[in-house]
Amino acid sequence: MDFNDTPEEAVFRQAVRSFISEELPERFKGMGNPLIVGGDMRARFEQMKEWRKKLADRGWIAPAWPEEYGGAGLSTMQQFIMNEEMAESRAPQVGGMGVSMIGPTLIIHGEDEQKEEHLARILSGEVVWCQGFSEPESGSDLASLQMKAVRDGDDFVINGQKIWTSGAQYAHWMFLLARTDPDAPKHKGISYFMVDMKSPGVTVKPLVNMAGSAMFNEVFFDNVRVPAKNLVGEENRGWYIGTTTLDFERSSIGSAVGMRMQVENLIKFAIEHRSDGQSTLENNPNLRYELSERLMETQVAKMLSYRVVSMQAKGLVPNYEASMTKLFSSELSQRIARTGVRMAGLYGQLTVDSEWAPSRGRFAASYVQTIGSTIAGGTSEIQRGIIATRGLGLPKN
């Protein structure tokens, strides 16, 4: 692993830094991703238009997409550098699932008419997408999904339910997997569809989590008619299409940088917050060791990210290595949150609606928000299984 930029990469890194310094609107500087801090997401999308346009002019909304589709055609390492610099500057992210998932799928498997209809609107932000994969009884074992799609003339009629659907209440379209051949082996009877969320029979019910936000949703489909032209790829080949991604940059460098910044904020609080004439750090000398450990762990997360992108830059596809990164990062996010709550004492349990809450209630909010981090994106148990069998060569049973 070479930690040094090549001369070309160094030039590109400086170009990204200069762009952020000159073009990032003042209201976003130091803010991070504004879409995860609550409030009206549609209003935030409106606020992002200026920043989005500046990125789009360079092809940086979807940097890994080919230039012919509005991307920048960046190499794996260039995209990594861009993501790292954006994270270091806390510049807000744009694109969402349209850029990272359905767009790449259409580029590879979509018909020309589908690309023409959807790709430009994804890049412009005109259309917001959500993902319809998980079901109440099909999460980790996604191939067991039961949503049905039955051909009826020029349409498919879809019935069933999706759950844990991020942002469905704001989305214009959903890409989903549904079973089109109930008699086929479970991986071979699934098809991939694009569904207009305004279609009759689609009902969205937000799910409020313990942090008080409603990012997830249940989505019900009652005889929803989907034009056959919205089938992506071949019928009954949706499972394999659904695993497609053009953007193989899965290093999670933004997560590693973000966690380091969280720990740095905790250190700053411990030094500056005073009680009985002493700082929190002076009142609790052992806290110094805990904060040091958290900070070192964020560097471990960063090294795991570097390992993944180094493999990708050599044309390799990370497997268990990506699982190691995800597992370590998601569990570290929980440890950082616990450190924050312990550091603030009983006051750390107070939420933003209390005038006594330190740091505007961030400690309590972070604690409850990170509880689900070891479930989302593949549970820790699944990641450990992948590491054990594919990384260590241990038997499955």
Q: How far is CA 104 from CA 98, 245, 366, 389, in A?
A: 9, 6, 32, 29
How far apart are the C-alpha atoms of 224 and 201, rounded to whole Å?
A: 5
How far apart are the C-alpha atoms of 117 and 123, rounded to whole Å?
A: 12
How far apart are the C-alpha atoms of 362 and 351, rounded to whole Å?
A: 7
How far apart are the C-alpha atoms of 186 and 353, rounded to whole Å?
A: 48
Q: Locate tokens 């200069």: which residue?
A: 18
Are the CB atoms for 95 and 61 separated by under 8 Å?
yes
Q: Locate tokens 């590879």: which residue?
A: 108
Q: How far is CA 67 from CA 58, 243, 343, in A?
A: 10, 23, 49
**Secondary structure class of 101 (helix, strand, coil):** helix
Q: Locate tokens 């994106």: which residue?
A: 377
How far apart are the C-alpha atoms of 125 and 99, rounded to whole Å?
A: 10
Q: Locate tokens 């990641």: which residue?
A: 383
Task: Indicate the DSSP class of residue 373.
Answer: G
Q: How many CB atoms lie within 10 A of CB 384?
A: 14
Bridge partners (DSSP) listed for residue 111 = none
Angle, vertex CA 348, rays to CA 344 and CA 354, nearest 5: 130
How far apart are the C-alpha atoms of 157 and 151, rounded to whole Å?
A: 6
Angle, vertex CA 163, rays to CA 162 and CA 168, nearest 5: 85
How far apart are the C-alpha atoms of 384 and 397, rounded to whole Å?
A: 14
Catalytic residue among 84, 85, 135, 249, which? 249
Helix axis angle, 320-344 to 362-370, nearest 10°: 150
Q: Locate tokens 């596809």: which residue?
A: 317
For 134, residues 6+ apart whose C-beta sits below 8 A from its C-beta are 142, 162, 163, 164, 165
Whether 234 sits among the annotated catalytic residues: the reply is no
Active site residues: 249
